[in-house]
Amino acid sequence: MQDSLSQTFAALADPTRRAMLAQLTLGDANISELAQPFLDRMSLPAITKHVKVLEKAGLVVKSRDAQWRSCTLNAEALRAVADWMEQYRSFWEARFDRLDAYLKTLPKKQKSEGAKNGRQRKAK
Digitized pLDDT (tens) for each residue of the chain, 124 residues in all: 468 889 999 999 999 999 999 999 999 999 999 999 999 999 999 999 999 999 999 999 998 876 777 999 998 888 888 988 888 888 888 888 889 888 888 877 665 666 666 666 555 5
Own/partner pairs, 94-99, CB within 8 angstroms, 24+ separation = none
pTM of the model: 0.70
User: What's the residue count for the chain?
Assistant: 124
Task: Note whether residue 82 is domain-resident.
Answer: no
Instruction: List the domain range (segments joined by +) for residue 118.
Output: 91-123
Task: Note whether residue 60 is domain-resident.
Answer: yes
Same domain, 10 and 49: yes
Q: Output the furthest CA–CA distance in the chain (Å, rounded).
A: 72
Task: Note whether residue 12 is domain-resident.
Answer: yes
Structural domains of the chain, count = 2
Task: Note whether residue 99 is domain-resident.
Answer: yes
CA gap 100, 77 in Å, rounded:
35
CA gap 25, 115 in Å, rounded:
41
CA gap 11, 3 in Å, rounded:
12
Task: Note whether residue 86 is domain-resident.
Answer: no
